[in-house]
């Protein structure tokens, strides 16, 4: 007797295959520990948060702080355990029946497929061109199907790192009759947002995360920005008290000190320029420009051997060669100056340069 949904029987568990090395440059994490930055203020604020209760004023405080930071009204926000949970809720909310599906570009964030599948929402992909651009007409054609319930655009895109053309995103928002999700997980690195469009385009939903730009991957906090009418509907599929009070207090404290994290992001952007130039100067290595905190690059036929060489030297990066557009490509997260220098030195050593 099988007790679960029939389509689950054939699914594989979500698995992140990145080695856990001493130097972690594979999951776009930050080298800055937020707890060390704000621990005194956090602990002081926690004295007013009773963990034996469901309700606390910290929730209202956090919502106001987040609305100020994102420059939207509080009723335009929903938040939870990472951008991933918010995706899960959104996919669940738009799914209508077994024929429902979303549309996305490819290659892109791999967990769109994981979480859509988890709720029984299908997904169809339009491959990017070799120049990492795409055809709006082909994309919209996929969205025209009555069973398409969501159009997904990751901007900047992960794992390619590039920003999509603004004119194409606007055209999709204007012409599509579907809800359009723009993933702005890397907004603080790209500086590009469509937040000011949520009233102009009521079919627009934006998802963001604190995992990258606020150095809080392990804390798990993400949020959705959209027209208040959309937020009301989304909240109908969200569990009540889905985000614990301790996390809310920590996020509130981090927002009190947001300039510390934004300054760190600016340093990462400057470090990225250095690593980009150093990688590009290595014979046999090609690097894609990036509007994120990572660089995607290739060493041609030597890429997989380079990946393994770095593992042997306790450096973890991410293979992204599973889609034809990025065949023979890997992705490295920009870290602090020391980690970056060690990474570059090892790439040079492998490629036979001093």
pLDDT along the chain (354 residues), means of 10: 90 82 96 96 98 98 98 98 98 97 97 96 98 98 98 98 98 97 98 98 98 97 98 98 98 98 98 98 98 98 98 97 97 98 98 86
Q: Across the chain, how many H-helices and E-strands are there?
A: 12, 13
Looking at the structure, do residues 243 and 302 belong to the same domain, yes or no? no
Q: Does residue 8 lie in a domain region?
A: no
**Domain end point (choices 257, 286, 316):** 257
Looking at the structure, do residues 246 and 264 belong to the same domain, yes or no? no
**Domain end point (choices 192, 224, 257):** 257
Looking at the structure, do residues 67 and 213 belong to the same domain, yes or no? yes
Q: Does residue 236 lie in a domain region?
A: yes
Looking at the structure, do residues 171 and 212 belong to the same domain, yes or no? yes
pLDDT of residue 164: 98
Q: Does residue 5 lie in a domain region?
A: no
Looking at the structure, do residues 221 and 325 belong to the same domain, yes or no? no
Provide the token pair at 178.
């579907």
Give the strand pairing for 222-226 and 77-80: antiparallel
**Domain end point (choices 220, 239, 257):** 257
Distance of CA 253 to CAs 39, 61, 299, Å? 9, 10, 42
Looking at the structure, do residues 293 and 238 belong to the same domain, yes or no? no
Q: Does residue 96 lie in a domain region?
A: yes
State the pTM of this model: 0.97
| Residue 325 CB neighbour total at 10 angstroms | 16
Looking at the structure, do residues 177 and 268 belong to the same domain, yes or no? no
Distance of CA 130 to CAs 108, 229, 254, 326, Å? 14, 39, 40, 9
Looking at the structure, do residues 63 and 24 belong to the same domain, yes or no? no
Distance of CA 86 to CAs 181, 220, 236, 267, 280, Å? 11, 11, 13, 29, 37
Spatial separation of the C-alpha atoms in residues 160 and 112, rounded to whole Å:
15
Looking at the structure, do residues 241 and 281 belong to the same domain, yes or no? no
Cis geometry, peptide bond prior to residue 107 (ω within 30 degrees of 0): yes
Q: Does residue 9 lie in a domain region?
A: no
pLDDT of residue 12: 85
Q: Does residue 272 lie in a domain region?
A: yes
Looking at the structure, do residues 243 and 323 belong to the same domain, yes or no? no
pLDDT of residue 14: 81
Domain count, the chain: 2
Q: Does residue 133 lie in a domain region?
A: yes
Spatial separation of the C-alpha atoms in residues 36 and 31, rounded to whole Å:
12
Looking at the structure, do residues 160 and 137 belong to the same domain, yes or no? yes
User: Which range of residues forms the domain containing residue 267?
Assistant: 17-32+259-350
pLDDT of residue 257: 98
Looking at the structure, do residues 274 and 216 belong to the same domain, yes or no? no
Q: Does residue 1 lie in a domain region?
A: no
Q: What's 285's domain CATH number?
A: 3.90.1150.10
Q: What's 69's domain CATH number?
A: 3.40.640.10
């Amino acid at each position: 007797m099988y007790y679960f949904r029939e389509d689950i029987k054939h699914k594989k568990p979500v698995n992140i295959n990145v080695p856990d090395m001493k130097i972690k440059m594979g999951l776009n994490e930050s080298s800055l520990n937020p707890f060390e930055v704000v621990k005194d203020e956090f602990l002081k604020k926690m004295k007013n948060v009773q963990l034996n209760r469901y309700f606390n004023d910290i929730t209202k405080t956090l919502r106001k702080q987040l609305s100020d930071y994102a420059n939207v009204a509080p009723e335009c926000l929903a938040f939870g355990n990472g951008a991933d949970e918010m995706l899960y809720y959104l996919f669940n909310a738009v799914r209508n029946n077994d024929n429902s599906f979303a549309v996305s570009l490819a290659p892109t964030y791999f967990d769109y497929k994981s979480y859509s599948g988890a709720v029984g929402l299908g997904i169809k992909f339009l491959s990017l061109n070799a120049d990492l651009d795409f055809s709006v007409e082909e994309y919209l054609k996929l969205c025209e199907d009555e069973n398409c319930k969501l159009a997904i655009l990751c901007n900047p895109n992960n794992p390619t790192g590039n920003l999509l053309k603004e004119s194409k995103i606007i055209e999709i928002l204007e012409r599509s009759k579907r809800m359009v999700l723009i993933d702005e997980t890397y907004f603080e690195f790209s500086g590009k947002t469509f937040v000011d469009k949520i009233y102009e385009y009521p079919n627009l939903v934006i998802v963001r995360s604190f995992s990258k730009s606020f150095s809080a991957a392990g804390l798990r906090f993400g949020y959705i920005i959209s027209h208040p009418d959309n937020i009301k509907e989304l909240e109908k599929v969200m569990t009540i008290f889905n985000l614990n009070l301790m996390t809310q207090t920590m996020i509130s404290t981090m927002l009190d000190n947001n300039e510390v994290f934004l300054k760190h992001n600016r340093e990462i952007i400057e470090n990225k320029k250095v690593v980009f130039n150093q990688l590009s100067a290595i014979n046999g290595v090609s690097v894609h420009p990036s509007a994120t905190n990572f660089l995607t690059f290739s060493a041609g036929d030597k890429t997989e051997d380079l990946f393994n060489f770095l593992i042997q030297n306790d450096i973890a990066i991410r293979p992204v060669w599973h889609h034809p557009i990025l065949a023979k490509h890997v992705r490295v997260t920009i870290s602090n100056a020391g980690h970056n220098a060690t990474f570059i030195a090892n790439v040079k050593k492998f490629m036979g340069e001093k």
